[in-house]
Amino acid sequence: MATSQFQIVLPLAYSTSTSAEEWKRAMAVPGSELPALSVKQKEIARKFNIPEEEYARNVLAGSYGWERSRKRASDLGEAVQASIRTLDVRYRVTAVIRDVNRPGWIVRIETLPGDVKVSVLVPKELADDLLDSGSESDKERLQILVLSSLEGAKLRPSD
């Protein structure tokens, strides 16, 4: 898989869900290999009467969930890039952003050399369907969304 040539933005306050598999991975890590807690994290653990090791496992499981979210963002950006490769104008994905105030992912696209820019909101359901199944119908749904957004922005050349 090619390395992403676009920015991935996940807000600091973005709380990813941790899967059962990620939690099991964190539980299997020896205590000596758990991440060191910051002073603030130790204070929170103490305030809620949570053993530091348990809190560290939670932090580790959360980091696994964060990495999964970054991978999904990268995969979504690559899927959008694939859907615009066939166009006459050279477009490129510049960013995939998770805005917690919107029900999906914002994918920023621009023309080379960056003359025209557009943002496409990919609904969470479509992104999840595409990334979980990779079906041709989900790829087509994404392509229709992206192309209609580009047309709506009057970016697509006339045929």
34 within 8 A of 24, measured Cβ to Cβ: no
Q: Which of 36-40, 83-87, 131-135, 140-144 has the lowest mean pLDDT?
A: 83-87
**Helix, strand, coil % over all residues of the chain, rounded to 5:** 50, 15, 35
Q: What is the pLDDT of residue 34?
A: 95
Q: What is the pLDDT of residue 13?
A: 57
* Euclidean distance between CA atoms 21 and 57, whole angstroms: 13
Question: What is the per-residue pLDDT across 113-145, written as a single tens digit (0 to 9) for each?
Answer: 767 789 999 999 999 999 999 899 999 999 999
Q: Which two tokens stand for residue 148?
A: 């209609």
- Global pTM value: 0.82
| 55-83 average pLDDT score | 93
Choose among 80, 117, 124, 132: nearest CA to 102: 124
**Domains of the chain, residue spans:** 7-152
Q: Which two tokens stand for residue 7?
A: 């920015």
52 within 8 A of 36, measured Cβ to Cβ: no
